[in-house]
Structure 1
Amino acid sequence: MSAVAVLRLPLSVDLSGFVALLRRMQVPHRVSEEAGEQVLWAPESIVEDVLSLYQRFPAGDPDHELPIVERPQVMNRPGFAQQLRDSPATAIVLLLCVIVAAVTQLGDNLSALRWLTFLDFSIHGQYIEFTPMADSLAAGQWWRLFTPMLIHFGFLHIAMNGMWYWELGRRIEMRQGSINLIGLSLLFSLVSNFAQYLFGGPSLFGGLSGVLYGLLGHVWIYQLMAPNPLYNLPRGVLVMMLVWLALCMSGLVSMIGFGQIANAAHVGGLVIGCVTGLLGGLWARRKQAV
């Protein structure tokens, strides 16, 4: 079931009431921003119904006067295949992570891993020697600034990171588009990788977690500046992620057997994500006021 644009409205129009009504009626939908407009998407089979509903209740139904009639034939949640079509950039990033995990054998294949790490390295017996970043950049290996986000060390590592990237990445892609999601992911990877290198020194690190904290900070602050249903994260998600960050920084997580945690990458990602969320949210609020 393909989704189509049902409404295209200026950003100044408040859709929150109508979106709340759609949620109460369990109507599958999403709202995105495109070219200075907010776009309401819904399955093609119920376009006329949604348009008719908006004409009658543009501000929603805050007093719950509208009787809700169950429509099990059209109220189904989009299937996984449809979600993939709606979020191609999110899916591509996760697919690359899976491919890299297979090629590097989740970090065990060092000969393959060394081409994706922030610093190139060589093995001498039981010792590892890192190549200075300046030498790698001079050799044109610029991809090293970003590719650590694709590396994962263990099944649990990639499973948890993949799950959260799917959740946060799709929200950003649906609201701000695929290009913005890719751009933000690369920026958060760059900043978190440099933060980990500057504070942790030469070492082997990788994973999407720095990017995830960037996405979290972006959605969190953006939502405070320019509220939108897509960025309305459950409060428990935000609290859990911030508590996990605090536990990692305390050293407790490493002590109980989770290995070394790239805390600087997490903090760096969260900080730059809050900055982009602030700038993006202020810009969206400005457009809404025009």
Structure 2
Amino acid sequence: MIEIGQLPNARAAQAFIDYLKGLGIECYTEASPHGVTIMLADPQYETTARDEFNQFIQTPYDSKYLQASWDNGDTQSKFDYGSGTLGLVQQFLTNAGPLTLITFGICVIVYAAMNLGFANSVFETLSFFNAVPESHSGEFWRIFTPSLMHFSALHIIFNLLWWWYLGGKIETKLGTRPLFFLLLIAGTLPNIAQYLMTGPNFGGLSGVVYAVVGYTWLMGVRQPSCGISLPQSYMGFMMIWLVLGFTDLLGMPIANGAHIGGLTVGLAQALFDSRKSSLKH
């Protein structure tokens, strides 16, 4: 299963799939936060499918796509557009596994507690070593728990959207184990790097986010049949964001050490997992 690209709505996606069907190329759709993802069933048609996708996004209203829907569309099937709020909730749950959802929920609970009058208590409990005078080396959880704290709405929304989208992909396609290792390692080692760079006052899941970004991208490059991938444009955006973090243009403190550390963890695990998959074949 290979991700070919994303389209903004279900009708456009169905028109493109009907057109590829006429060419003997089987594709299907997956819901995504930004619209509908086109997935290719057979890797041998990847080049053709990508070329056709690029043509489609340039001229989506070409008469040949409308004709393909008449010729190849299945009149007995109905595309599921969801049913309001219930459809959104169902999509949220079905596109993620238990670890993705549990981590998402914990971060939301921690953020809510910090904004309901318990900010000092939460910070004293979850912050990195030396952030509060009472902390000591026996409180081993402090190497990880700063990853669960977020300090603004933009901070948590940005991180959790990426976590749900990519973490959910990894868990539903490859299983909980690779995502668990990414969460555990990228939620600890990058925190140490950030501490060495700026001290103990930091928090957020961004190190883990960069780990799942790097992992998804490289696995898609090295093992296209694994079912996960990240468009080059998305990867480019995250790299630009990474670079901007070292400037003053964003107007906010950025955990650059955690970002770089997380990306390194994700790429390293993808190299290991993709090599392991190659050896099996």
User: Which string of whole-angstrom CA distances, capped at 9 and with x for unpartnered residues, describes residues 76-122 of structure 1?
Assistant: 26743254145222111111000000112289711221101112544
Give the length in aligned residue pairs: 231
Match of 1:81? 90
| CA-based RMSD | 3.5
The aligned counterpart of 1:264 is: 257
Structure 1: unaligned runs, 5 residues or longer:
1-14, 31-53, 123-128
The yes-or-no answer on 1:69 pairing with 2:73 is yes
Match of 1:217 among 199, 214, 218: 214
Is the 2:214–2:267 contact (alpha carbons within 8 Å) kept by the matching residues of 1?
yes
User: What TM-score do the two structures reach when normalised by structure 2?
Assistant: 0.70
Q: Secondary structure of the residue that 1:231 maps to in structure 2?
A: coil
Q: CA deviation at 1:232?
A: 2.5
Deviation, structure 1 residue 185: 0.9
Aligned position for 2:112: 102
Partner AA of 1:97 in structure 2: C
In structure 2, the CA distance between the partners of 1:71 and 1:174, relative to structure 1 (3 Å rule), is: farther
Q: Flag structure 2 segments of 5+ consecutive residues without an equivalent.
A: 4-12, 19-26, 32-40, 53-67
Question: C-alpha displacement at 1:174, in angstroms?
Answer: 1.5
The 8 Å contact of residues 119 and 130 in structure 1, kept in 2 or not, is answered as no
Match 2:233 to one of 214, 233, 236:
236
Matching residue's letter, 1:271:
T
Distance in 1 between residues matched to 2:242 and 2:264, nearest whole Å: 13
**Aligned AA for 2:151?**
F
Q: How many angstroms does 1:60 deviate by? A: 6.8
- CA 93–268 in structure 1, closer or farther in 2 if over 3 Å, else same: same
Tell me, what secondary structure is at the counterpart of 1:118? coil
Q: Give the equivalent residue in structure 2 for 1:203.
A: 200
Deviation at 1:58, TM superposition (A): 10
Instruction: Please tell me whether the aligned partners of residues 182 and 265 of structure 2 are also in contact (alpha carbons under 8 angstroms).
Output: no
Residues 202-229 of structure 1, C-alpha deviations (whole Å, 9 max, x = no match): 3311111111111111112222221137
- Aligned counterpart, 2:247: 250
- The residue aligned with 2:189 is 191
Q: Which deviates further from its counterpart, 190-199 or 21-30? A: 21-30
* Identity percentage of aligned residues: 32
Q: Do the aligned residues in 2 keep the contact of 1:210 with 1:269 (CA within 8 Å)?
A: yes
Contact 1:146 1:193 in 2 (8 A): yes
